């Protein structure tokens, strides 16, 4: 599963970084950047929580062919 940030929607609220600091970093330009873009198998619930908590719905998870069914 891959993570995508729609940067034009990001307003730098940093909920993503607070919840999942291993994946997201809000930089000096006030935008969130991915530290890694592939969801570790044990982190699916964590990343779903990030998706739900982003105030501007800027984060999406995208299934990949490598994901277990």
Q: Kindly list the residues in this chain that would bind ligand SF4 in the complex (CB under 6 A).
A: 5, 10-16, 24, 26, 32, 54-56, 58-59
Q: Which residues of 9-22 are buried (b: 16+ CB within 10 A; e: fewer)?
A: ebeebbbbbebbee
State which residue, 43 or 66, has the beta carbon closest to ligand SF4: 43
For the bound state, the minimum distance from the C-beta of residue 26 to ligand SF4, rounded and expressed in Å, comes to 5
In the complex with ligand SF4, the residue whose CB is nearer, 9 or 69, is 9
Whole-angstrom Cα distance, residue 50 to residue 61?
A: 10
């Amino acid at each position: 599963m891959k993570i995508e940030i729609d940067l034009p929607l990001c307003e730098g609220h940093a909920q993503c970084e607070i919840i999942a600091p291993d994946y997201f970093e809000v930089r000096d330009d006030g935008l969130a950047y991915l530290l890694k873009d592939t969801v570790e198998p044990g982190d699916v619930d964590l990343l779903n929580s990030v998706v739900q908590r982003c105030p501007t719905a800027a984060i999406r998870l995208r299934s990949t062919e490598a994901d277990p069914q």
